[in-house]
Amino acid sequence: MKSFGNIAKDGQVRAVASGALTDGASVVVNDDGTVSVAGSAAQAQTIGTPTAFTSSTTVSQRALVHDSSNDKYVFVYYNGDPYHGKAIVGSVSGTSITYGSEATFNAAATYNTTSAAFDSTNNKVVIVYGDAGGSGEGKAIVGTVDGTSITFGSAVQFEAGEVEYLDIVHDANAGKVLIVYSDRGNSDYGTAIVGTVSGTSISFGSPVVYLSNRSRGQTLTYDSNAQKSLLVYRDQNNTEQGRARVATISGTSVSFGSQADLGLAAWPQSSAFDSTNNKILVAYRSEESGSGNRAELKVATISGTSVSFGSATIVRSSNTSNLSVAYDSANEVFAVLYGTTADLKTATISGTDVTLSSEISYDTAGQVNVPPGRGVVYKDGVGFVIFTQKSSVGTGTVFRPAGNYPNLTSENFIGFSDGAFATTQSAAINTTNTIDRNQSGLTAGQTYFVQTDGTLGLTAASPSVTAGTAISATELIVKG
């Protein structure tokens, strides 16, 4: 039986170190039985197996958001019969995805570019859509994730007329969501409105027209450095010019800076913020005569309420339909999905220049349909989660570009290094129910958790890994 004090460490084990271990370091077991310090480790590119969450129902008008408060992925779509609005929660472990039960957010036909965003101010998912069960009016609904389920409040109308080409983004500085759409009841004018989430409901300010002309292909991205959002759209009646404006939220109102040109006959598809370089990567189709509907990228820079663009980089020269982009902040790389093939390229930014990788296939089994706009999201330590339609079935895939990823899982933590050991040495590890005496700064009586960087904290990280209970500033009973 153990007691506090200088006891024999009969729970201690020895294992071969893979990499140097420092005294008191959190230690994980590797797949080959060696042990390493918990933290980031270099990994080669990996791609998970696409996993279906529907059986044979057509999935369309798709969006994907990451609920960072619950560390879940919400797949939003309408099914093919009878076109009801649906959502399902996905959980990622390694490169595998499992799903909860399908939930209905609109028990009527749901058309016209459904989109969604995660409101991190209120820890809610907000879905916007055209309710074709009525007159196509614009509606928003608030979703709450609990475990592997999502429930919804009541839908709230923000536009009485029919809407198209919706998009939504959360403005973290304002604590609001911004919605943009084409107002078919007002000559397809480009229109924006600010939403405020409260509990499971949402309210709105007054709509603002940002383009007194037909607007198409709206896409929004929040720039956390500028604390503003970039709106990119197509000015349909003005040589089909791609345009962009900076949106600033104040209270429940939004204002826009001057227009900047993206490109002639450009159809915006998706955009993502590079938090390393404080730039925005904009993906669009060039439909200019002779372009062949090619996929292109441009780097946008926000300065005050203005935006400027670098020159175009061609992703794919042949006919391309949809594009979707997301940014990996840990490895400083974008994933760029495109077309109706299961292919992507990674992209890096230097100044306003873009460098692309060679083509990467994330589903070797065949053709898929990439959603425009919000078909891919990134989470540090996980990689990119991709939402596609394959043979009319909704699927999710995890893509990890080569880079550094946390090596801690919910199962592989073994204890703490009892001393310093060089790589390949036989290392002594204090494991379950031993007392590790190589810590510092602990508070007796507190339970500590291993963080993804290997340090200890009083709150659980993701994954949640209990380190043990402190009995002094330097001592910890390992795992209970």
Q: How is 239-284 classified by DSSP, letter by letter? A: TTEEEEEEEEEETTEEEE---EEEETTEEEEEEEEETTTTEEEEEE
In-domain check, residue 1: no
On the question of pLDDT at 480 being above 60, the answer is no
Which tokens go with 156? 């709230």
Interval 59-93: pLDDT, tens:
666 799 999 999 999 999 887 767 889 999 999 98
Percentage of residues of the chain with pLDDT beyond 90? 70
Same domain? For 328 and 443 the reply is: no
**Integer Cα distance of 276 and 368 in angstroms:** 31
Same domain? For 364 and 422 the reply is: no
In-domain check, residue 4: no
Same domain? For 29 and 72 the reply is: no
Max mean pLDDT range (192-206, 261-275, 356-370): 192-206
CATH value at residue 360: 2.130.10.10
In-domain check, residue 295: yes
In-domain check, residue 282: yes
**Integer Cα distance of 213 and 308 in angstroms:** 22
**According to the model, what pLDDT value does residue 112 have?**
66
Instruction: Count CA within 13 A, CB hemisphere, residue 267.
Output: 18
Residue that is last in its domain, among 405, 434, 458: 405
Same domain? For 227 and 120 the reply is: yes
Same domain? For 149 and 25 the reply is: no
On the question of pLDDT at 244 being above 70, the answer is yes
Residue that is last in its domain, among 386, 405, 424: 405
Residue that is last in its domain, among 405, 434, 459: 405
Same domain? For 21 and 105 the reply is: no
Beta bridge partners of 35: 17, 29
Find out whether 127 and 175 touch, Cβ atoms under 8 Å: no
Please give the residue that has the higher pLDDT: either 230 or 135: 230
**Taking the chain, what is the end-to-end CA distance rounded to the nearest angstrom?**
14
Percentage of residues of the chain with pLDDT beyond 70? 92
With a CB cutoff of 8 Å and minimum separation 6, the contacts of 336 are 283, 297, 315, 323, 324, 325, 344, 345, 346, 347, 356
Same domain? For 264 and 375 the reply is: yes
Residue 356, Cβ density class (10 Å: 0-12 exposed, 13-18 middle, ≥19 buried): middle
Confidence of residue 2 (pLDDT cuts 50, 70, 90): very low
- Number of independent structural domains in the chain: 2
Same domain? For 266 and 194 the reply is: yes
Cα 385-387-389 angle, rounded to 5 deg = 150
**Integer Cα distance of 208 and 239 in angstroms:** 23
Which tokens go with 66? 């990451």
Interval 383-430: pLDDT, tens:
999 988 777 788 899 999 998 888 888 889 999 999 999 999 999 999
**According to the model, what pLDDT value does residue 7 have?**
43
**Integer Cα distance of 387 and 385 in angstroms:** 7
Same domain? For 453 and 304 the reply is: no
In-domain check, residue 3: no
Same domain? For 102 and 118 the reply is: yes
On the question of pLDDT at 277 being above 60, the answer is yes
pTM: 0.87
**Integer Cα distance of 89 and 239 in angstroms:** 41
372 cis-preceded (ω within 30 degrees of 0): no
Same domain? For 337 and 429 the reply is: no
In-domain check, residue 138: yes
**According to the model, what pLDDT value does residue 3 have?**
37
Confidence of residue 340 (pLDDT cuts 50, 70, 90): low
**According to the model, what pLDDT value does residue 5 have?**
39
Which of 84-98, 116-130, 160-174 shows the lowest mean pLDDT across its residues? 84-98
- The helix (run of H) or strand (run of E) holding residue 340 is none
Mean pLDDT of the 321-343 span: 87
In-domain check, residue 217: yes
3-state secondary structure of 10: coil
**According to the model, what pLDDT value does residue 363 have?**
78
Which of 98-102, 249-253, 402-406, 416-420 shows the lowest mean pLDDT across its residues? 402-406
Range of the domain at 140: 46-405
Average pLDDT over the chain, rounded to an integer? 90
**According to the model, what pLDDT value does residue 290 have?**
66
In-domain check, residue 212: yes
**According to the model, what pLDDT value does residue 1 have?**
33
**Integer Cα distance of 287 and 454 in angstroms:** 50
Same domain? For 19 and 158 the reply is: no
Mean pLDDT of the 128-142 span: 93
Mean pLDDT of the 287-307 span: 89
